[in-house]
């Protein structure tokens, strides 16, 4: 799976309105292409608001946003398998230079807990966050100002020097 994260050159979406930050993402999932606007609260809750639609072309969607002034700030490749269990979506996500992660999303905490229990995963050891948080856990040299969005090309190929340097600080 590949995705591109887009923003204006002045990064106004990432700066966001008071208390929020966001981005536009175009994601090619192999069989379909999704366009997402994601806005995330800068608070402890990290509440997320998403608007997502299916589009017909990865390249044409990127070109449309470039035509109105957005630019690709990061191309990211991942591998993902998705299952459904107890009304929840269970994703096995594989990001470059991280161990595979399990993500469980559902309509209620009760249903998510049921799915997690069925998978034999310890609820008390869960980590709430996104891929950036996972990188910060593994690469302790990453600061709050560092983000995987700062890596122009995040693929399963050679690790960028930027991330190697953060790894050495462990």
pLDDT tens digits, one per residue of 106-155: 999 999 999 999 999 999 988 888 888 888 888 888 887 778 877 888 89
Structure tokens given for 46: 């990290």
The pLDDT, as a whole number, for residue 43 is: 59
Name, in order, each residue with C-beta under 8 angstroms of 139's C-beta and a sequence gap of 6 or more. Answer: 163, 166, 167, 170
Q: Residue 126: phi, psi to the nearest 5?
A: -65, 155
The pLDDT, as a whole number, for residue 170 is: 47
Buried b (16+ CB within 10 A) or exposed e, 98-122: beeeeebebeeeebbbbbbeeeeee
pLDDT tens digits along 15-61:
766 667 788 999 999 999 999 998 877 655 557 788 999 999 999 99
Instruction: Please report the domains of the chain, with CATH numbers, ordered by start residue.
Output: 1-77 (2.40.320.10), 80-150 (no CATH)
Kindly state the average pLDDT of the residues 4-18.
Answer: 83
**Among 73, 72, 94, 95, which Cα is nearest to 150's?**
73
Residue 65 and residue 33: Cα distance in Å, rounded? 15
Model confidence, pTM: 0.76
Residue 45 and residue 48: Cα distance in Å, rounded? 9
What confidence category does residue 75 fall into, taking pLDDT thresholds of 50, 70 and 90? Answer: very high
């Amino acid at each position: 799976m590949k995705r591109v994260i887009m923003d204006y050159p002045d990064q106004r979406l990432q700066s966001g309105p008071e208390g929020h930050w966001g981005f536009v993402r175009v994601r090619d999932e192999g069989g379909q292409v999704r366009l997402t606007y994601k806005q995330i609260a800068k608070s402890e809750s990290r509440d997320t608001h998403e608007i997502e639609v299916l589009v017909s072309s990865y390249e044409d969607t990127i070109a449309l946003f470039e035509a109105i002034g957005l630019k690709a700030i990061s191309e990211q490749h991942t591998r993902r398998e998705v299952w459904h269990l107890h009304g929840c979506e269970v994703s096995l996500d594989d990001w470059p230079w991280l161990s595979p992660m399990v993500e469980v999303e559902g309509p209620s905490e009760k249903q998510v807990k049921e799915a997690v229990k069925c998978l034999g995963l310890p609820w008390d050891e869960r980590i709430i966050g996104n891929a950036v948080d996972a990188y910060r856990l593994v690469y302790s040299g990453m600061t709050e100002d560092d983000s995987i969005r700062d890596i122009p090309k995040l693929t399963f190929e050679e690790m960028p020097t930027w991330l190697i340097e953060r790894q050495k600080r462990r």
